[in-house]
A = this chain, B = another copy of it.
Amino acid sequence: MGKDTILNILILGMDGYIGWSLALHLAEKGNRVTGIDNFSRRRTVEEIGSWSATPIHSMEKRMQVAKANYQERIRFHEGDLVDYKFVSDVIKSCKPDAIVHLGEQPSAPYSMIDVAHAVYTQQNNVIGNLNLLFAMRNFSPDAHLVKLGTMGEYGTPPLDIPEGFFEVEYNGRRANMMFPRQPGSFYHASKVHDTFNIMLACRIWGLRSTDIMQGVVYGTRTNEINLSENPDLCTRFDFDEIFGTAINRYTAESVIGHSLTVYGKGGQTRGFLALVDSIQCLTLICENPPAKGEYRVFNQIDEVYNVTELAEIVAKVGRRNGLAVEVAHVPNPRHEAENHHYKVEARHLRNLGFKPTRSLEQEVGLMLEDLTPFKDRIKEKEQVIDPKTTWSNGQSLEEGIQNYSIRQNTRTTS
């Protein structure tokens, strides 16, 4: 399989930030794309009282616009991965070469709200993925499962982080072993649970999978998505404390003059990747499947920063663009190391030909430009930016429900 092969690709979670961007890119390249989604992301963002800074269309409208460009090369079915029959039926009719699984609840804070949100996250993610594994075994055992995990599966161990496995010695014996995972939230744990289930399915059933430990993705643009040229195709952009990742949150804060909310001491170090480069990696992975029965892990990151450095870059670019940006340290709502070793091996994707095309500083400039027209939408939801969902003290079930009922008083439409 090479760069010019036309693939049948099934995208789970096609309505999401990465899912929608990937669907357009794969269709643009000539592949046949089928997508599914249960629209849970739209509902959960509404639940917490927020919305996408970029006004995204309904899937109906999205498909109208996309089909004008790609005709039958892009299709969509509404449905839920926790419904085994739905998953099986889609796989039977699509006959995918690759299945890109982006269809999970993706927020760590959301999973820490209360017991109901933790249970929902693990139930949705683990059972959805388990249904998928059985449907693949039964109806497409040769397809390639491209699974979105997270660098957060590893936590922040005191050792360098290899790509999934490492060679160790213990009591005089040497072996290549799985690198120990240390998830930091019930969301991250759900991804680790998936990892174990997928590894098992590859071993006992001969499925093939690339499990992607992805860093934090940021950005508003891809080759197919440019807000000033084709606003109808834009992807979502979350900036709230629950669904907004660090850079997205910082840039949104910048355009409304909200100080940048660095959590705690700010030494928390992570890998980052521009949206367009995440799409590049996912495409490369689809085009280069592993052998049958192979389970492989790719660390998908570009640059490494701590969250203070990140805020300083955003502040610098913002000020250059005439924005009055202040960096603030707010109490850390999470339970995490604020100063730690962080060295990540990420060679596999480079070996397949991945070349990062964006520097963070450059991309932040484009983000500020793209977000400025939606300043009022961000401003309207300013109250969901500052962190309220905490790890250590958590909320009781009743408090969690009450807190989120209050936020929902301002109802939103996207």
| Chain A residues near B (Cβ < 8 Å) | 84, 114-116, 118-119, 122-123, 126-127, 130-131, 134-135, 137-138, 157-160, 162, 166, 168-171, 173, 175, 177-186, 189, 192-193, 196-197, 199-200, 203-205, 335, 341, 343, 391-392, 394, 396-397
Contact = CB atoms under 8 A, between A and B. Distances in A.
26 contacts: A84-B397, A115-B131, A115-B135, A118-B130, A118-B134, A119-B127, A122-B126, A122-B127, A126-B193, A157-B175, A158-B175, A159-B168, A159-B170, A159-B175, A160-B170, A160-B171, A166-B170, A168-B169, A173-B341, A178-B182, A183-B200, A184-B204, A192-B193, A193-B193, A203-B335, A204-B392
B184 A159 contact: no
- The oligomer's copy count stands at 2
Nearest to A201: B186
A78 to B, nearest CB: 22
Given A168-B168, A189-B197, A178 B177 contact: no
A343 B204 CA distance: 24
A177 B131 CA distance: 31
Given A130-B186, A159-B171, A196-B181, A138 B204 contact: no
Contacts of A175: 157-159
A192 B185 contact: no
B183 A180 contact: no
A196 B184 CA distance: 10
A397 B85 CA distance: 10
Contacts of A396: 138
A146 to B, nearest CB: 21
Point out which of A84, A177, A184, A335 has the most chain B C-beta atoms below 10 A from its C-beta. A177
